[in-house]
Amino acid sequence: MIDIQRRNGGKDFYVVKDVIKNGKRTKETVRKSSKEEYNSFHAAKNGLENMDLTAISCAFPECDMLRPIPREQKRLLKTVLPQRYKQFTDIYCSQKCRNAHEQDLKTVLKE
């Protein structure tokens, strides 16, 4: 599972993931994060306790924002809906990213 941790007395933020090293479960740093991403990640995680969570990243290629999502919901979006309806769904972290991506894609999106 992906998580975002605070370090150095809460001044620095890092995305970490669970890995198995020498038979031991440990956290590996993926990249630096930000206070904004930390707060939004953990706010989204609240209310999802006791669920099997995974993470999904913003669909806008210029954005690294991660958000936790129940695995069942990710399975629905990424497997069940494509199988049933050939429907592919992207998740954006914000309306701002959705708009920016649609702007980048406007030449192919217009019919």
List residues binding Zn ion (CB under 5 A): 58, 60, 63, 65, 93, 97
Cβ-based nearer residue to Zn ion, 26 or 99 = 99
Task: State the minimum distance, in angstroms, from the CB of residue 33 to Zn ion.
Answer: 13
Task: State the minimum distance, in angstroms, from the CB of residue 17 to Zn ion.
Answer: 19
What's the CA gap between 69 and 44, in Å, rounded? 8
Cβ-based nearer residue to Zn ion, 56 or 93 = 93
Cβ-based nearer residue to Zn ion, 28 or 102 = 102
Q: What is the token pair recorded at 49?
A: 């306790």
* Inter-residue contact 103 to 97 (CB < 8 Å): no
Around Cβ 59, how many Cβ atoms within 10 Å?
14
